Amino acid sequence: MIRVIIADDEARICKLIMKLIDWDQIGMLIIGTASNGIEALELIEKENPDIVITDIRMPGYDGLEMIEKAKKINNELEFIIISGYGEFEYAKKAIAFGVKEYLLKPINKDDLHKALIKAGECVKKKKGQIRLEKEYESILKNDVNKIREAFLNKLIRFNPESFNEYTLSEVNENYHFNFREGFFNIAALKIDHTKGYSNNIKNIVNETIDMVKSKLQNITYETDIIYNKSSLYILINYGQNEKKQIETAFLKILAWFHQKIFIAEKLEITIALGEEVRDLRDITGSFKTAELLIEDRILKGTGKIIEMDGQRTNQTEIEDIFYNFSKKFIKAVELLDVDEVKKTIFHFKKDIRGKRIRGAELKKLIHETGNVYYITMKSNHIKVDSTPGDDQSLKNIIDNCSSIDCLFGELVEHITASLTVIAGEKYHNNLKQIKQARKYIEENYMKNITLEDLGAHIGFNPSYFSSLFKKETGTSFIEYLSKIRIEKAKDLLRESDLRIQDVCLMVGYNDAKYFTKSFIKHTGLKPNEYRKIFA
């Protein structure tokens, strides 16, 4: 938050200023008020504010004296002065002290808001510059390459706004470049390697960097390179007449890589050209374009230069394909059906191939599939250590996938590996639960037990338990219960003189007719016939 002090000998003015502005909304905080110049100076020394709003005429020190003394304490302070009509000469002197904003009484809300925003921007700029200076102090002053690299990283990837006020000559002087007016562009050069590649990729990257520089340095005003995640981002600054030569240079780099590296190491290379810009401060847009285009190698192939083509993803069509796939995929995962999961992903790949989609969007769908898998498992109370979408090893492999087959192959491999382990654990757990269910039935067959009772006893919902029981035993719960009851009835009929009515009740039947019908179904005999033969 930007810290603000208000100094005015009229308390109502201080209160008015505090009420006129939504301070949180503009990222500012009032840390104190003062009623005269002496109090204001003490407050400045104690609280170290960023902005001071002060009346130009106050007791103690007037506004001008206070500003002059405060600048000696902190020369970076921003002041907004408040003056009345007839105090213009004072205002002119304040401007001479470096005060950029002044307001006339009565204070207007919009004018105050604009003045605060402008002062806030100055504060941010100064703080950014101070922060940059501290950062670069920590870099070895004589290490030009590190200074250039730090500048490029900040310009391209992290905080380009911090250089908005810089001219090309200032950038050149401070960061050791030789930029000129002309064109700027970023080319992304991606080196893909197969899974399990064990050689030192760093040596190949360094060799590639040397080759890029040798081909471009003599035909550009400036060339520099950042390496990040097996990609080289090449910043080039050039004139109108060099465009064709630059394209030829990139083709030569591709040819060199194929002959020298690909044949020996089986590595693949692709180059994507970003959007050409005329202003160095717009280079972030070029970087983002190159980042987007380099992912299109998944669909367009490697070993080539990819340029902007105006292609856009058909979002509605892709969303429909992914939605339909997700429904089938979730069902297969819930059933822990590894073969069906593979089949579903295969059909998804078939449906997506040839559609209007960018490589980056396709990668997002692959990661989203991993997330769907994880959420499905969680919602079914199945523990998964990590989502494939967040699995760092999968991310790294996908980052180096250079084809749609590789992407889907890795997705299938990771999900089915996880699913196979879970399905195995689930199978053994299910056997244990079925064994427990059988024991419960054998001990409670004489009671009026239901599917709900049994499911609750072993911790499964009735619907899932019913399917599982039939799958593992080959018979339904009702059929299994009837079989146990009839077996117990047969024992009683053979070994006792109990009436058939009593046997019926003792094995869990309340209806003698239904008992007789069930007995005939299982044995082919009526209960009294069975007793005559086997007793």
pLDDT class of 31 with cuts at 50, 70, 90: very high
Q: What are phi and psi of 85, to 5 degrees?
A: -60, 140
pLDDT class of 297 with cuts at 50, 70, 90: very high
pLDDT, greater one: 535 or 251: 251
The residues pairing with 305 across neighbouring beta strands, listed in sequence order, are 271
**3-state DSSP: the chain helix, strand, coil percent, rounded to 5?**
60, 10, 25
Instruction: Say if residues 399 and 338 touch (Cβ distance below 8 Å).
Output: no
pLDDT class of 467 with cuts at 50, 70, 90: confident
- Provide the CA 267 distance to its chain's centre, in angstroms: 28
Instruction: Say if residues 239 and 262 touch (Cβ distance below 8 Å).
Output: no
DSSP, collapsed to helix, strand or coil, labels residue 53 as strand
For the four alpha carbons of 459, 462, 468 and 469, in that order, the dihedral sign comes to positive
Query: pLDDT per residue over 111-150, tens digit each?
Result: 899 999 989 988 888 887 667 666 655 554 457 888 888 8
Q: For residue 351, what pLDDT is reported?
A: 93
Q: For residue 197, what pLDDT is reported?
A: 62
Give the Cα separation of 79 and 198 in Å (integer): 61
DSSP, collapsed to helix, strand or coil, labels residue 357 as coil
For residues 313, 319, 321, 324, the Cα torsion angle rounded to the nearest 10 degrees is: 180
Q: For residue 130, what pLDDT is reported?
A: 67
- Which distant-in-sequence residues (6+ apart) come within 8 Å of 117 by Cβ? 26
Query: pLDDT per residue over 405-416, tens digit each?
Result: 999 998 999 899
Mean pLDDT, the chain, as a whole number? 86
Q: For residue 145, what pLDDT is reported?
A: 81
Q: Is the pLDDT of residue 534 over 90?
A: no
Q: What is the mean pLDDT of residues 328-336?
A: 88
Which amino acid is present at 88?
F
Instruction: Say if residues 94 and 68 touch (Cβ distance below 8 Å).
Output: no
Give the Cα separation of 20 and 15 in Å (integer): 9
pLDDT, greater one: 535 or 147: 147
Q: For residue 270, what pLDDT is reported?
A: 94
Domains of the chain by residue range: 2-129, 145-306, 315-425, 432-534
Q: Is the pLDDT of residue 390 over 60?
A: no
- For strands 231-238 and 222-228, give the pairing: antiparallel
pLDDT class of 335 with cuts at 50, 70, 90: confident
Q: Return the structure tokens found at 123.
A: 């504060």
CATH number at 2-129: 3.40.50.2300
pTM, 2 dp: 0.57
Count of beta carbons in the 10 Å neighbourhood of residue 149: 17
Q: For residue 3, what pLDDT is reported?
A: 94
Query: pLDDT per residue over 303-330, tens digit each?
Result: 999 998 877 778 889 989 999 999 999 9
Q: What is the mean pLDDT of residues 362-382?
A: 83
- The position carrying tokens 């104690």 is 46
Q: For residue 179, what pLDDT is reported?
A: 95
In the chain, % of residues over pLDDT 70: 90
Q: For residue 82, what pLDDT is reported?
A: 86
Instruction: Say if residues 382 and 425 touch (Cβ distance below 8 Å).
Output: no
Count of beta carbons in the 10 Å neighbourhood of residue 25: 8
Q: What is the mean pLDDT of residues 381-390?
A: 59
Q: Is the pLDDT of residue 101 over 60?
A: yes
CATH number at 145-306: 3.30.70.270
Instruction: Say if residues 338 and 420 touch (Cβ distance below 8 Å).
Output: yes
Go through the chain and tell me how many residues it has.
535
pLDDT class of 389 with cuts at 50, 70, 90: very low
In the chain, % of residues over pLDDT 90: 45
For the four alpha carbons of 120, 122, 126 and 131, in that order, the dihedral sign comes to positive
Class of domain 432-534: mainly alpha
Q: For residue 321, what pLDDT is reported?
A: 93
Measured CA to CA in angstroms, residue 524 lies from 409, 496, 512, 520, 534 at distances of 56, 21, 17, 5, 14
Q: b/e map of 193-215 (b: 16 or more CB within 10 Å)?
A: beeeeeeeeeebbeebeebbeeb
Q: What is the mean pLDDT of residues 73-87?
A: 81
Q: What is the DSSP string of 155-174?
A: IIII-GGGGTT--HHHHHHH
pLDDT class of 76 with cuts at 50, 70, 90: confident
Could you say which DSSP state residue 144 is in? H
Give the Cα separation of 54 and 90 in Å (integer): 13
Q: For residue 51, what pLDDT is reported?
A: 94
Q: What are phi and psi of 228, to 5 degrees?
A: -150, 120
| Lowest-confidence pick of 138-152, 294-308, 480-494, 514-528 | 138-152
Q: What is the mean pLDDT of residues 336-340?
A: 90
pLDDT, greater one: 229 or 18: 18
Q: Which of 473, 498, 475, 474 is nearest to 488 (CA)?
A: 498
pLDDT class of 194 with cuts at 50, 70, 90: low
pLDDT class of 341 with cuts at 50, 70, 90: very high
Please tell me which of 88-97, 221-230, 308-317, 496-505 the model is most confident about, judged by mean pLDDT.
Answer: 496-505
For the four alpha carbons of 161, 165, 168 and 170, in that order, the dihedral sign comes to negative
Q: Return the structure tokens found at 59.
A: 């007791």
| Lowest-confidence pick of 7-21, 136-150, 240-254, 511-525 | 136-150
